[in-house]
Structure 1
Amino acid sequence: MKSAVIVFPGSNRDRDMFQALELITGTRPQSVWHTESTLPDVDLVVVPGGFSYGDYLRAGAIAARSPILKDLVAKAESGVSVFGVCNGFQILAEAGLLPGALMRNAGLIYVCKEVRIETVNNATRFSSEFRKGQVWRCPVSHHDGNYFADTETLKRVEGNGQVVFRYAEGTNPNGSINDIAGVTNARGNVLGMMPHPENLVEPLHGGLDGRTLFESLLKAA
Structure 2
Amino acid sequence: MNIIELKNIKKIYGKNSAETIALKNINLSIKKGEMIAIMGPSGCGKSTLLNIIGCIDVPNNGTYSLNGQEINKLNFNKLAKIRNKNISFVFQEFALLKEFSVLDNVILPLNFRKMTFKEKRLSALKYLKKLQIEDLANKKVINLSGGQQQRVAIARSLVQESELILADEPTGALDQENGKNIMSILKNLNKDEGKTIIIVTHDMNIAKYCDKIINMRDGVIL
Relative to the length of structure 2, the TM-score reads 0.31
How high is the TM-score relative to the length of structure 1?
0.31
Q: Which structure's relative contact order is higher, taking Cα pairs within 8 Å and 6+ residues apart?
A: 2
Indicate the structure with greater helix content: 2
